[in-house]
C-alpha cells in the first residue's frame, strides 16, 4: 500500500526530508499506527537534492534516502528499526540514512572541486577529474570543463596569471597536501570539503 499515492504533488517535505507537509505527516502517522505493511513511495524535498522512502514490512520500519549533487553524483543510505517507532525515531532514521547517503555520494564522485577566492569572494572553480572514467567534461550542468571555470563578476580584476595557474594546478595535482589551503597573492585556494 502506497500511502502517499492519492496525495497531490510530488514534494513530500518543505525543507529537508523530515519536515513533511501536514497531509503527508498525517498519512504516515496513520500508516505507522496501523501496524500494516506500507510504503510512502519516493517523496522529494522542495529545497534539497534529496528524496526518501519510508516503508514498514514485517514489523520493521525502513527509511531509505537518495541524494545527488550538482554534478549528478548519486548516493544512497538506509536505516531500519523494529516497531514500535515514534515520529522522533523516524526523524533520527532520516538523519542517519541521509548521512550514509552523503558518504556514499562522496565515494561515487568523479570529481574534486576547489574554490579560488579573491579577497574572500569566490571567483574561480577548479574541477579535477578523479575517477577511472575518461570523461570529456564534468557530469551535470555545473561545470563547463575540467580545470578552471570562471564564476566571478569582473573577470579582468579576477585574472590569474600563467604562473599562478601553474602553481594552483601543481598544488591540486598533489592534493591532499600538507596545507589545507594555498595562498597566492590575493587568491586563496581550498577544496570544497
53: cell is 522512502
Give the dihedral of Cα atoms 81, 41, 110, 79; nearest 10 deg: 0
Spacing of C-alpha 88 from chain mean position? 23
Task: Return the pLDDT at 99.
Answer: 97
Taking a C-beta distance cutoff of 8 angstroms, is the pair 50, 44 a contact? yes
169: left (phi > 0), else alpha (psi -120 to 50), else beta? alpha
Query: How distant, in Å, are the alpha carbons of 65, 68, 79, 105, 130 from that of 108?
Result: 15, 10, 20, 5, 10
* pLDDT (0 to 100) of residue 55: 95
Give ∠ CA 73-126-171 in degrees, rounded to 5. Answer: 115
Domains of the chain are: 11-108 (3.30.160), 111-191 (no CATH)
- Say which residue the cell 590575493 belongs to: 186
* pLDDT at residue number 7: 62
pLDDT by residue for the chain (193 residues), tens only, comes to 777 776 666 677 888 899 998 988 998 999 998 889 999 999 988 888 899 999 999 999 999 999 998 888 899 999 999 988 888 999 999 999 999 999 999 999 888 899 999 988 999 999 988 877 777 777 776 667 888 988 888 888 889 999 999 999 999 988 776 668 899 989 999 998 7
Maximum separation of any 2 CA atoms in the chain, in Å: 67
Residue 105, pLDDT score: 94
What pLDDT is attached to residue 65?
Answer: 97
How is the beta sheet containing 182-184 ordered, strand by strand? 147-150, 121-129, 111-118, 187-191, 182-184
At which residue does the C-alpha cell 579577497 appear? 119
- Using an 8 Å Cβ cutoff, are 52 and 15 in contact? no
Residues 75, 126, 175, 178, Cα dihedral to 10°: -110
Amino acid at each position: 500500500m502506497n500511502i502517499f499515492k492519492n496525495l497531490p504533488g510530488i514534494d513530500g517535505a518543505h525543507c529537508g526530508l523530515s519536515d513533511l507537509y501536514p497531509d503527508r505527516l498525517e498519512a504516515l502517522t496513520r500508516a505507522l499506527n496501523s501496524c500494516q505493511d506500507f510504503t510512502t513511495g519516493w517523496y522529494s524535498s522542495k529545497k534539497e537534492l534529496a528524496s526518501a522512502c519510508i516503508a514498514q514490512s514485517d514489523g520493521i520500519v525502513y527509511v531509505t534516502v537518495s541524494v545527488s549533487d550538482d554534478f549528478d553524483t548519486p548516493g544512497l543510505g538506509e536505516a531500519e528499526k523494529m516497531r514500535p517507532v515514534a515520529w522522533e525515531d523516524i526523524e533520527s532514521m532520516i538523519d542517519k540514512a541521509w548521512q550514509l547517503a552523503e558518504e556514499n555520494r562522496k565515494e561515487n564522485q568523479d570529481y574534486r572541486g576547489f574554490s579560488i577566492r579573491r579577497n574572500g569572494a569566490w571567483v574561480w572553480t577548479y574541477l579535477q577529474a578523479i575517477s577511472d572514467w575518461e570523461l570529456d567534461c564534468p557530469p551535470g550542468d555545473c561545470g563547463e570543463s575540467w580545470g578552471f571555470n570562471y564564476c566571478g563578476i569582473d573577470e579582468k580584476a579576477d585574472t590569474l596569471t600563467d604562473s599562478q595557474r601553474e602553481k594552483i594546478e601543481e598544488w591540486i595535482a598533489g592534493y591532499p597536501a600538507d596545507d589545507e589551503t594555498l595562498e597566492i597573492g590575493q587568491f586563496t585556494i581550498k577544496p570544497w570539503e
